[in-house]
Structure 1
Amino acid sequence: MLKTKIADPTRPGSLAYSARARRWAELLRYFPDLAEMHILDLGGTPTAWRAAPVRPAHVVTVNLDPHTARHVEVGITPVVADACELSLPATVSTKKFDLVYSNSVLEHVGGHYRRQQFADTVHTHADHHWVQTPYRYFPVEPHWLFPGLQWLPFRARVAISQHWPYGHIPRAGHFQATRDVQEVELLSVAEMRSYFPASTIWFERFAGLPKSLVARK
């Protein structure tokens, strides 16, 4: 029940739901013509856009998970591909995108080289972007909802991941928990600015503290 009240973004009244609503309000304030845009969503899913408060003119979602491409509908084109080495199919590659959008993906791509590739994809495909990632120095790690998890030794993080029942990442055996911990690398402000030097960094806050970073342009 606690996990649902905190982490379920589809549950009105949860902290995650409120945070998502505030983020959407800021996105629409910054891009008031979002409903008219053609958007490339790196790491997104059609399901997320079905639930969006505003539906853009067209969205191309890029995701490694083939399950995200099962349901095609008007206005949303799912593509199974690697956002860090993006090769779009001919049916969409010639389209001009107004905005590249990404939500909580950059911390998952794997190391500096891959993050730079991801940023290059963002810069290549549109003049404008909105790239969000959790902030490394927020006191609660957002994937596990565990205080200070990101600053603990690797072995301790794996042990917690095996037993901690909250957050978005389910408990697992040692092998999977190790992979889960290895797969998440939260970013600092300096790192975010290095990948998006011409962007404004917006600090999404919770209780007055920076919770996540958004590079926007």
Structure 2
Amino acid sequence: MTLLSTRAANPDRAGSLAHRTRARRWTELLRTFPDLAEMRVLDLGGTPASWRAAPVRPAQVTVVNIDPGVAGDPEPDVQFLAADACQLPALLPGVEFDLVYSNSLLEHLGGHANRARLAEVVAASASHHWIQTPYRYFPVEPHWLFPGMQWLPFQVRVQISQRWPYGHIRPGGRAKAIRDVAEVELLSATEMRAYFPESDLWFERFAGLPKSLVARK
């Protein structure tokens, strides 16, 4: 990882932008759900490791991620399910949760239909939720850490992805770059409100500018 990406994007590095952002987000999450330690949480798209490092551990967490490689070692209060979060209800019949949590998954689902399905899963799985996604109109694209990349033509974004070494997504060949660029679709506040019409929309800010969106209920 380059020096720039380490300083800016590594959430485990104290003082990094990602570390400060995560700390502020946790403060707001705990303000919204002060009884988090007593809740049964369904995490869509997360990792067990993120909950092991969390400042507050819920009573029970079920993590759903399509990548089985992030499972890690099993723990009594953190369960892992390798599955598609958009197809979840049939896989957890009769299981009840207090809170659905999702961090930076919504922009990776591959189009409106899948985002709508995820919103249905969220509504059906618990009475409360916290769904975060990067804001389309923040001036720096968060996956590549490239200014304004999300507003450029597709071909230009592919060329950037092939060469730009500073973000979470590593450079590679053209085929990889096409897949990476096609897979990321940042959302506007209008879209977020449409998917979660009964939620309060919180704008997470950096330097006064909205950086990400959180639909919470």
Shift of 1:87: 4.2
Shift of 1:214: 0.1
- Write out per-residue CA displacement over residues 44-82 of structure 1, whole angstroms, 9 at most, x where no aligned residue: 110111111100000000000011234211100100111
1:79–1:88 contact (8 Å) kept in structure 2: no
Aligned mate of 2:73, from 71, 74, 86: 71
Counterpart of 1:41 in structure 2 is 43
Give the whole-Å Cα distance in 2 for the aligned partners of 1:37 and 1:177. Answer: 40
Gaps of 5+ in 2: none
The reply to whether residue 199 of structure 1 matches residue 199 of structure 2 is yes
Counterpart of 2:177 in structure 1 is 177
Counterpart of 1:3 in structure 2 is 5
Give the whole-Å Cα distance in 1 for the aligned partners of 2:94 and 2:60. Answer: 14
2:43–2:63 contact (8 Å) kept in structure 1: yes
Give the whole-Å Cα distance in 1 for the aligned partners of 2:90 and 2:54. Answer: 24
Counterpart of 2:140 in structure 1 is 140
TM-score, normalised on structure 2? 0.97
1:142–1:167 contact (8 Å) kept in structure 2: yes
Give the whole-Å Cα distance in 2 for the aligned partners of 1:181 and 1:27. Answer: 30
- Write out per-residue CA displacement over residues 103-160 of structure 1, whole angstroms, 9 at most, x where no aligned residue: 0000000100000000000000000000000000000000000000000000000000
1:81–1:87 contact (8 Å) kept in structure 2: no
Identity of aligned residues (%): 66
User: Aligned to 1:156, what secondary structure does the other structure show?
Assistant: helix
Give the whole-Å Cα distance in 2 for the aligned partners of 1:53 and 1:183. Answer: 31
1:136–1:150 contact (8 Å) kept in structure 2: yes
Gaps of 5+ in 1: none
| Cα RMSD (Å) | 1.0
The 4+ residue runs of structure 1 with deviation greater than 3 A are none
Give the whole-Å Cα distance in 2 for the aligned partners of 1:177 and 1:162. Answer: 6
Counterpart of 2:152 in structure 1 is 152
User: Aligned to 2:122, what secondary structure does the other structure show?
Assistant: helix
User: Aligned to 2:120, what secondary structure does the other structure show?
Assistant: helix
Give the whole-Å Cα distance in 2 for the aligned partners of 1:41 and 1:112. Answer: 21
Give the whole-Å Cα distance in 2 for the aligned partners of 1:5 and 1:18. Answer: 11
Give the whole-Å Cα distance in 1 for the aligned partners of 2:43 and 2:113. Answer: 20
- Residue 116 of structure 1 aligns with an amino acid whose one-letter code is A
Counterpart of 2:127 in structure 1 is 127
User: Aligned to 1:93, what secondary structure does the other structure show?
Assistant: coil
Give the whole-Å Cα distance in 1 for the aligned partners of 2:142 and 2:210. Answer: 12
Map 1:45-60; keep pairs closer than 5 Å. Answer: 45-60=47-62
CA distance change for structure 1 residues 127 and 87 in 2, over 3 Å: closer, same or farther? closer
- Residue 87 of structure 2 aligns with an amino acid whose one-letter code is E
TM-score, normalised on structure 1? 0.97
